[in-house]
Amino acid sequence: MKYIFILISIVLIQSCGLKKGNTNRAGENFPESTLTTLDGKVMDTREWSRGEAFLLFYFSTDCPHCQKELIEMKKESRLLEKRKILMVTWNRNFDEVNEYGKQSGYAELENVTIAVDSDRNLASHFSIRSFPFIVLYSKDRKFIKSFRGEIEPKVILSDKNSES
């Protein structure tokens, strides 16, 4: 029984994302995909946030690291207001995702869109294996930088990681 508990603990830690690091995709365009917003509309990523810098926040509704990251990011609200945020999950339970958005306080923010990656196209594109996974994009939809796991919001949203 003790070994089963240890094994489960290791799996949960790995799946939630204690790994940190960057992937280098400098200058790459935001991938084309379709997502489903919480109101059931299909969203084409080619049309989302044209002309505005944005942050992709890929999360899992049951990941405590994601919840902590969102709380920390909200504390830096003036920094958050600088970009649009696309929160994406592969959880297909829309009620659960909607509740997560409400509880986190992000569902009410005008600059935030919460969507579901039902086909896991974005997850596959970025080889997401841990959460949270955050990517910064410039106003011309070019990759700036990505982060895996928890990271200080000031680092994510610093001017050096923003398009000038």
Tens digit of each residue's pLDDT (9 = 90 or more) over 51-103: 889 999 999 999 999 999 999 988 887 767 778 999 999 998 999 999 999 99
Number of domains in the chain: 1
pLDDT in tens, 95-139: 999 999 999 999 998 899 999 999 999 999 999 989 999 999 999
- Supply the pLDDT for residue 8: 44
CATH classification at residue 141: 3.40.30.10
How far apart CA 46 and CA 157 sit, in angstroms, is 23
What distances in angstroms separate CA 41 from CA 3, 22, 53, 113, one per listed residue? Answer: 45, 32, 23, 12
Percentage of the chain surpassing pLDDT 90? 57
- Supply the pLDDT for residue 155: 85
DSSP 21: B
Q: Which of 38-47, 77-86, 147-156 has the lowest mean pLDDT?
A: 77-86
- Supply the pLDDT for residue 156: 82
Look up the domain containing 145 and give its range.
Answer: 2-161
Residue 47 CB burial class (10 angstroms; 0-12, 13-18, ≥19): exposed
pTM over 0.85: no
